[in-house]
Amino acid sequence: MIRWLLPLLLLASPALAEESIVSGLSQNRVSITADFDGSEILIYGAVKREAPVPKGSPLQVIVTVEGPSTPVIVRRKDRVAGIWINNAEVRVDSAPSFYAVATTGPLSDILSDTENLRHRVTIERAIRAVGITGEADQADAFVQAMLRVRSNEDRYRVLEGAVQLTDDTLFRTDVVLPSNLTEGEYTVRLFLLRDGKVVATQERVIRVRKEGLERFIFTMAHDQPLLYGLLSLVLAGIAGWAASAAFRLIR
């Protein structure tokens, strides 16, 4: 009896995903050295299918790159008695140090609000700001101000149309990591979409780490702060003495 029921159960079970992602990165490790001025990452992949290409809405691809998240305090300066002072602040629970979104088309056209909420695709959804309304009036304006500042610093980017898709199968995009990177793991997420819905996802990781002199200074500052402070004072004194001696020689 069980032998006859097994095929029926298999037929009644949900079908396997018809489309999945096979992807790669040009590099999965970035070293920050003294002369580091940024890095360009090639993200590429293909769509693996268990069935013919579905008819109807064309395939869309979104690629996000997210840096380590940290709490952020956003302050507003107001002019009081002719002096600009910090008059209000909002604490954002967690904000990515870097976030880039690359797509095959306009985000508003290829991604539904429901899927955006579920997968936190856009920069606004990637920022978690819980309970900020009680800290200041118009708290959302503080978050928008942070978005503008980090966008101007090239740390937040929306690259609509930057993903190249060939024959609904092969895709690629280039994401430039800036020179002011935060050390840690950068999560790369890839999404396949049809009719505004995510049909397949995949994650990869890029590890960013300080190396050489940068690593030595970073480690000393965190593990031996007293020695780091004393060494900084000695170096500053030597630099000042050298500048004074050179000035006297010139005169």
pLDDT value, residue 54: 75
Please state which of the ranges 31-45, 99-113, 155-169, 233-247 shows the lowest mean pLDDT. Answer: 233-247
Confidence grade of residue 112 (pLDDT, cut at 50, 70, 90): very high
pLDDT value, residue 231: 67
pLDDT value, residue 244: 74
Measure the CA angle with vertex 141, ends 139 and 143; round to 5°.
Answer: 80
Of 62 and 141, more confident: 62
Compute the distance between CA of residue 154 and CA of residue 164 in angstroms, rounded to an integer. Answer: 22
Confidence grade of residue 135 (pLDDT, cut at 50, 70, 90): low
Percent of the chain with pLDDT over 90: 40
At residue 35, the 3 state secondary structure works out as coil
Average pLDDT on 108-119 reads 94
β-strands 39-49, 170-177: how paired?
antiparallel
Asked whether the predicted pLDDT for residue 133 surpasses 80, the reply is: no
At residue 143, the 3 state secondary structure works out as helix
At residue 31, the 3 state secondary structure works out as strand
pLDDT digit string, tens, across residues 48-89: 988 777 777 889 999 999 999 988 888 777 776 667 766 777
Is pTM beyond 0.85? Reply is no
Please state which of the ranges 10-14, 16-20, 95-99, 217-221 shows the lowest mean pLDDT. Answer: 10-14
Q: At what angle do helices 225-250 and 212-223 cross, to 10 degrees?
A: 120
pLDDT digit string, tens, across residues 173-231: 999 988 888 889 999 999 999 999 999 999 999 998 876 555 555 555 556 666 657 66
